[in-house]
Amino acid sequence: MGAADVVPGVSGGTIAFITGILDQLLDSIKKIRPSLFSVIKQQGVKAAFMHINGPFLVCVFGGILTSILTLAKLITYLLHTHPIPVWSFFFGLIVISVVHMLKQVKGFSVGRLALFVLGVAIAWGITMLNPIALEMTYLNVFLGGCIAITAMILPGISGSFILLLLGLYTSVMGAVKGFDIAIMATFAAGAATGLLSFSHVLSLLLRKYHDATLVFLTGLMLGTLGKIWPWKEVLTFRENSKGEMVPLDERILSPFQYEHITGQPALLSYAIVAMLCGVLLVWGLEQFANKDRT
């Protein structure tokens, strides 16, 4: 989940769903509420820790934090130096994830089809938005953490991409790579606030309207594929917080158009192999999750 959350366009919530831990994660998080103090007072800290499924949460968030801290530099480097294979890998991962999620739906109706189309439209619309440039203040970082974390646990919506739209992605990633404790703590506080609030909503929807919610979330995932498509032409640039020129508006191209317009190799064979690796990874995670459930 941490590795996925680092990449704009890929959701850690997708990984949580594929591995079968999303429901348990939401149920554990929503138990962190004011009534927990009563459990501590009556039964002690250890009982409260077990009440919220503490060992599970420590493993999940410990893994996310470890992955972000160790992979942030590597993934940003690979996206800069080898963009086509990296985006192709995540493209394959999302495509097979859509298939995986639709397999969980027990039946389709006109209403569910409408929710699916709505999800695709919303995600596609979000990915087409131009980033804004929020000032790098502690308040904005806190609010960015609140908003981004809701996307991080939603299959299909990328928390990193939300940060990109807010103009905070580069600054937050720079803080992680530079180990800026103040910015990281502020972002973490915002993320914790957003997570504790939104987990109740998502858990309720999955419990009462499981298939309908699943169909909508799958639509969200499918709608992000335009952002993840490996071959693009950059139409306009923007200046980031470091004074570097980075892509702002992009146009989707076919591999052959990409070679003709940009003059750079499309690396089609590498892209296909990378996509297959993404497909195989999700398939392997699905098999592992199924084996663990039995």
pLDDT at 58: 92
Q: Is the pTM higher than 0.75?
A: no
Interatomic CA distance for residues 85 and 54, integer angstroms: 38
Interatomic CA distance for residues 202 and 214, integer angstroms: 11
Interatomic CA distance for residues 259 and 276, integer angstroms: 22
Greater confidence, 176 or 109? 109
C-beta of residue 152 within 8 angstroms of C-beta of residue 13: yes
Q: Is the pLDDT of residue 243 over 60?
A: no
pLDDT confidence bin for 85, thresholds 50/70/90 = very high
Residues 6+ apart with CB under 8 A from 240: 170, 246
Tokens of 256: 């052959």
pLDDT at 271: 93
Domain boundaries, the chain: 2-293
- For 140-192, the pLDDT digits (tens) are 889 888 888 776 677 666 676 677 767 777 777 777 777 788 888 898 898 88
Q: Is the pLDDT of residue 273 over 90?
A: yes
Residues 6+ apart with CB under 8 A from 4: 10, 11, 12, 14, 15
pLDDT confidence bin for 289, thresholds 50/70/90 = low
Tokens of 70: 């160790």
pLDDT at 74: 81
pLDDT at 103: 81
pLDDT at 166: 74
Distance of alpha carbon 50 from the chain centroid: 28
- For 183-239, the pLDDT digits (tens) are 888 988 988 888 888 878 888 888 888 888 888 888 887 887 877 788 987 776 655
Give CA separation, 11 vs 45, 195, 217, in Å: 33, 15, 11
pLDDT at 281: 81
pLDDT confidence bin for 134, thresholds 50/70/90 = low
Greater confidence, 262 or 118? 118
Interatomic CA distance for residues 41 and 37, integer angstroms: 6
pLDDT confidence bin for 117, thresholds 50/70/90 = very high
* Cβ neighbours around 219 below 10 Å, total: 25
pLDDT confidence bin for 274, thresholds 50/70/90 = very high
Greater confidence, 259 or 4? 259
Burial string for 50-87 (b: 16+ CB within 10 Å, else e) reads: ebbbbeebeebbeebeebbeebbeebbeeeeeeebbbb
Interatomic CA distance for residues 153 and 258, integer angstroms: 34
Helix (H, G, I), strand (E, B) or coil at 254: coil
